[in-house]
Amino acid sequence: MTGVGTVMNKQHRGAAAQPDTVANQAFGFWLYLMSDLVLFASVFATYAVLAESYAGGPTGKDLFDLTYTFAETIFLLVSSAAYGLVMVAMHHDGRRAVLAGLAATFGLGLGFVSMEINEFQGLVAHGNGPQRSAYLSAFFTLVGTHGAHVIAGLVWMAVTMVQVAAKGLTTAVRARLLRLAMFWHFLDIVWVGVFSVVYLMGVG
């Protein structure tokens, strides 16, 4: 009986520890997001200081195609909405729906990154790389930092899709899906700021 009681106590402690682990991981991820917010705030501030340091080079009016950038923005906004459907499916234990939503989000995010890389390549090909002026250095740093985060999110999403397919919607997988949702929506909000400050104000 003593042995059985010991085993039951260990199981009880393990079950009680799991929610604590999930909560600690969520708290740690919030701290990470706050540090990332400080990073983006610093890069935004740098861009604001250098926004008119053209060094005789092109300005935003000369460089940006708002129609193209607006299409990029739509890709990212719709991807965020698609991830919202992933969370709805997760709460209803819809494993296939979760995978379908993740695949849609991944495809839209990949489209966004592809358009951004194409934009960068076009600028560099025409001699408007980051070395052209302080303004362009700040532009490439700000937009590129966001793009690097989106690529990291896509890698994370691909790994999560494999985990959902292999393990199902376990408690650990659900926690990862929730943290990925926080990260993806955070990038969406940051991009709205980038689009407004860099592109809309840049051509205004």
In the chain, the domains with their CATH numbers are 2-203 (1.20.120.80)
Q: What is the per-residue pLDDT across 4-35, written as a single tens digit (0 to 9) for each?
A: 344 334 444 444 445 577 778 888 899 999 99
Which residue, chain included where needed, has tokens 């376990």? 170
Cα 89 to chain centroid distance, Å, stands at 20
Q: For residue 89, give every residue at least 6 positions away whose Cβ sits within 8 Å of its Cβ, in sequence order, or none.
A: 97, 98, 100, 101
Instruction: Round to whole Å and give the CA distance between 187 and 113.
Output: 12
**Residue, of 22 and 156, whose pLDDT is higher:** 156
CB 50 within 8 A of CB 134: yes
Q: What is the pTM of this model?
A: 0.88
